[in-house]
């Protein structure tokens, strides 16, 4: 067993396992799970596999994966979609709320600001005695999801998350574990603007990082800064609040950035005058019939969700 931590570290570092480590990993997984390594690695991320293998509990956890594998044909690997941007106010939360509803995904709110997804969903921490996000992270439990009509299931944030957020590594591990335990195909994470640990943790755990950007100089500058630091993440840029005639210079710059950094661009989402003052808590895309003033926005959000579903994580 001496080589387990070493093998785990290698997997975490994406270093190829040496022959001996590789042999032990494969033999043990086969013994416990009855299926070969690539299958396990498709079913959980490399990070989780590494963590499991490094613990004394690896046998028990691998057995859990083995039982999950019995329904592998009908149970695709869940995917975490993190909505993040270095710049504030570009539309992360609005996109996260709608996308989570469209993907039937739990929404994890990692932003502690008052204007965040939690408040807009209709949850007021002042009226509650518990803090599900903080308690789940502290007690290493999977949070129970809050349910509501016409909106995504939610893990609400809390103002104290601003000072009580764990390391990026711990956030990534927690999100991956919760995602596995919720048993849903998708999980959407909304984040605080900028490069705080919880945002990087959520990006590390993600199969896809959605980055809304406005076709304006400041927003494109922020996108460029983000790509310079983080282009190795699986990023899809979402042009948001796009004017009916967007400035040609901004369109060209976005195209150049996407080509230079080899990131995909989702279909654009128009500027919808009805959104900023909207008080309703249900997702726009849940409304039936869709109000005429929001119809175009709803259609475009369906387009973004389709791009997410068909994004090739390679």
Ligand X SMILES: Nc1ncnc2c1ncn2[C@@H]1O[C@H](COP(=O)(O)OP(=O)(O)OP(=O)(O)O)[C@@H](O)[C@H]1O
Can you read off the two tokens belonging to residue 142? 């999977």
Is residue 119 a contact residue for Mg ion (CB under 5 A)?
no
Is residue 269 a contact residue for ligand X (CB under 6 A)?
yes
Location of structure tokens 């699986």: 234
| Segment lying near Mg ion (by CB under 5 A), choices 31-39, 70-78, 86-94, 265-273 | 86-94
Q: Please identify which residue in 28, 82, 94, 207 interacts with ligand X, judged by CB under 6 A.
A: 94
User: Could you give the CA distance from residue 51 to residue 231 in angstroms, rounded to a whole number?
Assistant: 25
Would you say 157 or 173 has its CB closer to ligand X? 157
Q: Which one of Mg ion, ligand X, none is in contact with 240 (Cβ closer than 5 to 8 A by kind)?
A: ligand X
Is residue 17 a contact residue for ligand X (CB under 6 A)?
no
The answer to whether the CB of 142 falls within 8 A of the CB of 177 is yes
Q: Which one of Mg ion, ligand X, none is in contact with 216 (Cβ closer than 5 to 8 A by kind)?
A: none
Smallest gap from Cβ 274 to ligand X, in A, equals 8
Binding mask 44-83 for Mg ion (x = CB under 5 A): ----------------------------------------
Smallest gap from Cβ 272 to ligand X, in A, equals 4
Is residue 45 a contact residue for ligand X (CB under 6 A)?
no
Binding mask 113-152 for ligand X (x = CB under 6 A): x-x-------------------------------------
Can you read off the two tokens belonging to residue 90? 């570009």
| Segment lying near ligand X (by CB under 6 A), choices 59-67, 98-106, 144-152, 264-272 | 264-272
Q: Which one of ligand X, Mg ion, none is in contact with 271 (Cβ closer than 5 to 8 A by kind)?
A: ligand X
End-to-end CA distance of the chain: 32
The packing angle between helices 292-310 and 92-102, to 10°, is: 70
CB crowding 95-113: b at 16 or more within 10 Å, else e: bbbbbbbbbebbbbbbbbb
Q: Is the peptide bond before 289 cis (omega within 30 degrees of 0)?
A: yes
Residues 183-242 touching ligand X, rule: CB under 6 A, are 193, 240-241
Q: Which one of Mg ion, ligand X, none is in contact with 88 (Cβ closer than 5 to 8 A by kind)?
A: ligand X
Q: Please identify which residue in 65, 92, 119, 125 interacts with Mg ion, judged by CB under 5 A.
A: 92
Report the half-sphere exposure of 43 (CA within 13 A, side-chain side).
Answer: 26
User: Could you give the CA distance from residue 97 to residue 122 in angstroms, rounded to a whole number?
Assistant: 12
Is residue 151 a contact residue for Mg ion (CB under 5 A)?
no
User: Could you give the CA distance from residue 43 to residue 75 in angstroms, rounded to a whole number?
Assistant: 9
User: Could you give the CA distance from residue 24 to residue 65 in angstroms, rounded to a whole number?
Assistant: 18
Q: Is 312 exposed, middle or buried (0-12, 13-18, 19+ CB in 10 A)?
A: exposed
Which residues bind to ligand X, rule: CB under 6 A? 88-94, 111, 113, 115, 193, 240-241, 269, 271-272, 275-276
């Amino acid at each position: 067993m001496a080589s387990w931590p070493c093998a785990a570290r290698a997997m975490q570092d994406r270093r190829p396992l040496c022959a001996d480590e590789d042999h032990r990993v494969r033999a043990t997984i086969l013994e416990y799970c009855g299926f070969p390594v690539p299958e396990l690695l498709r079913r959980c991320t490399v990070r989780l596999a590494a963590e499991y293998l490094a613990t004394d509990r690896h046998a028990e956890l691998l057995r859990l994966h083995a039982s999950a594998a019995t329904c592998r044909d009908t149970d695709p690997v869940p995917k975490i979609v993190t909505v993040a941007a270095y710049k504030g106010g570009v539309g992360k939360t609005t996109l996260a709320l709608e996308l989570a509803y469209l993907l039937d995904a739990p929404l994890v709110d990692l932003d502690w600001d008052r204007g965040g997804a939690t408040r807009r969903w209709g949850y007021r921490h002042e009226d509650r005695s518990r803090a599900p996000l903080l308690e789940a992270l502290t007690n290493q439990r999977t949070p129970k999801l809050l349910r509501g009509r016409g909106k995504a299931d939610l893990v609400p944030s809390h103002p104290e998350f601003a000072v009580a957020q764990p390391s990026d590594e711990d956030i990534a591990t927690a999100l991956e574990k919760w995602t596995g335990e919720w048993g849903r195909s998708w999980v959407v994470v909304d984040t605080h603007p900028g490069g705080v640990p919880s945002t990087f943790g959520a990006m590390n755990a993600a199969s896809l990082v959605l980055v809304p950007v406005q076709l304006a100089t400041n927003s494109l500058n922020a996108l460029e800064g983000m790509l310079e630091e983080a282009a190795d993440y699986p990023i899809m840029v979402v042009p948001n609040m796009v004017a009916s005639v967007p400035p040609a210079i901004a369109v060209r710059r976005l195209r150049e950035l996407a080509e230079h950094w080899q990131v995909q661009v989702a279909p654009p989402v128009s500027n919808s005058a009805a959104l900023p003052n909207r008080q309703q808590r249900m997702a726009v895309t849940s409304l039936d019939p869709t109000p005429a003033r929001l119809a175009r926005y709803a259609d475009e959000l369906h387009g973004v969700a389709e791009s997410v579903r068909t994004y090739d994580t390679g």
